[in-house]
A = this chain, B = another copy of it.
Amino acid sequence: MIMGRRWGEGRPGGRWHGELRGCGYRVTMPRQVILQVLDEAKKHLSAEDIFIKVHQIYPAIGLTTVYRTLELLVRMGLVHKFDFGDGRARYELCDGNNEMAHHHHLICTDCGRVIDYDDFTEEETELIKKTEKELAKKYDFTVRNHTIQFYGLCKKCNALKK
């Protein structure tokens, strides 16, 4: 990989040209901008978060297109959709082969704060992989992604309860 330069940069359609065209989709400006925003954020964003950021780069875009594009990307497996139970979905670019960027969540049921948690042990990573394989065999289910979330009280809310 060439330093300071991403794959596909400078080529028609940019970095995700192949993925989109490969699935028969057109490489449009809104789609590229949305992917760029997701890539730069590197963390869960709501549809509105994305809309606001995209709007700064490409003001003509509508919220509808954000939703439609996200749905598309989720179907393609490029983006993962999360639900923290607060009524609004969050979206995050899947890290493809970069397994290390993967993370899970601690969600405070009192204040709604979400803490990312990515320091897995080797043991955990292995177990998840093994479990996925077993599930695939047993239920004939093709696992494409997973979510692990712990619910409870964060530091602050814990303190307030006393």
- Enumerate chain B residues within 8 angstroms of A154, measured Cβ to Cβ: 139-141
**When chains A and B are docked, how far (Å) is the Cα of A68 from the Cα of B18?**
48
Taking each of A80, A89, A131, which has the highest tally of chain B beta carbons within 10 Å of its own beta carbon?
Answer: A131
Query: Chain A, interface size: which category?
Result: 35 or more
Q: Distance in Å from the Cβ of A43 to the closest Cβ of chain B?
A: 17
Name A123's closest neighbour in chain B (CB-CB): B127
A150 at the interface (CB under 8 A from B): yes
Question: Given A106-B135, A123-B127, A135-B117, A152–B147 Cβ distance below 8 Å?
Answer: no
**When chains A and B are docked, how far (Å) is the Cα of A84 from the Cα of B84?**
10
Copy tally for this chain in the complex stands at 2
- Per the 8 Å Cβ criterion, residues 81-98 of A in contact with B are 81, 83-85, 89
Contact A142 B131 (CB under 8 A): no
Name A145's closest neighbour in chain B (CB-CB): B151
A109 at the interface (CB under 8 A from B): yes
Partner of A153 from the list B74, B80, B142, B147 (CB cut-off 8 Å) is B142
Contact B115 A141 (CB under 8 A): yes
Q: Mark A122-162, 1 if CB is under 8 A from B, else 0.
A: 01100100011001000111111111111111110010000
Partner of A143 from the list B74, B127, B143, B150 (CB cut-off 8 Å) is B150
**When chains A and B are docked, how far (Å) is the Cα of A74 from the Cα of B155?**
19
Question: Given A81-B85, A85-B89, A127-B127, A144–B152 Cβ distance below 8 Å?
Answer: yes
- Per the 8 Å Cβ criterion, residues 52-85 of A in contact with B are 74-75, 80-81, 83-85
- Enumerate chain B residues within 8 angstroms of A123, measured Cβ to Cβ: 127
